[in-house]
Amino acid sequence: MPEGDTVWRAANTLRAALEGQRLTTCDIRVPRYATVDFTGETVDSVASRGKHLLIRVGGYVIHSHLKMEGTWHVYAPGARWRRPAFQARIILNTADAQAIGFELGVLDIVEDEDEVVGYLGPDLLGPDWDPKTALTNLESDPARPVGLALLDQRNIAGLGNVYRNEICFLRGIDPRTPVGDAGDLKKTIDLSYRLIMANKDRNQRVTTGDRRPGRHFWVYGRENKPCRRCGTTIEFGLIGDNPLEERQIYHCPHCQN
């Protein structure tokens, strides 16, 4: 699942390939931006902001969000792509590299990046990370389920559904518990930071400390399987602010009561 750590790594890869380099090809395969061409421009910088990726070039920002299926690949010139060409939404070439965005959930060209990321809370992997602001944001709605508050990018930028489920388990909190009843939120924020920092350089997330196949997570994706701590059957449910925004939750009814 693309979460803040996935996008952070993608930004690092793209930065190494594009930053400071002159574009020899710019092919944007989105009808709205079909006439936009940054060929000849130099890429000023590449950055991640939560789950968003920002490529700054020619006074504009190429903004992308991976959603569920999106990915960025970098290849040597002329190398064969690992995804079919019809999935490519944008191609940025330099003299030494090809950067291709496949099946990007969102692709925009904007002049002011605040238009697309200005609403975000402090980024767990960004220079703006501020646990005090994150705490204030979470505490602003004490009646809201903590599982929804953690996933709300306006509160904290970077957490996705995998982290949400694992953090709630490790803190012993049912994700449906109101924020005001969810215990010490400072500890929850600190755990969120430590967990994503521990995984930011890994291609495979691990929250249990066990990297063996099938042992990476405590509860996520483990519906009807025994809890790794107490043996109670892991339960599955859905939670969201409305039926169209429901996401999967997994929890141990004994360890998270």
Return the active site residues. Answer: 2-3, 51, 247
Mean pLDDT across 126-147: 97
Beta-carbon neighbour count of residue 206 at 10 Å?
Answer: 16
Q: What is the CA radius of gyration of the chain?
A: 20
Residue 1 has pLDDT above 70, yes or no: no
Element of type H or E holding 25: strand 25-28
Number of residues written out for the chain: 257
Average pLDDT taken over every residue of the chain: 97
Q: Cα dist. 243→146, 238, 239, 246, 247 in Å? A: 17, 9, 8, 5, 9
Which pTM value belongs to this model? 0.94
- Tens-digit pLDDT profile for residues 23-79: 999 999 999 999 999 999 999 999 999 999 999 999 999 999 999 899 999 999 999
Q: Which two tokens stand for residue 48?
A: 């991640």
On the 0-12 / 13-18 / 19+ scale of CB atoms within 10 A, 37 is middle
- Tens-digit pLDDT profile for residues 113-132: 999 999 999 999 999 999 99
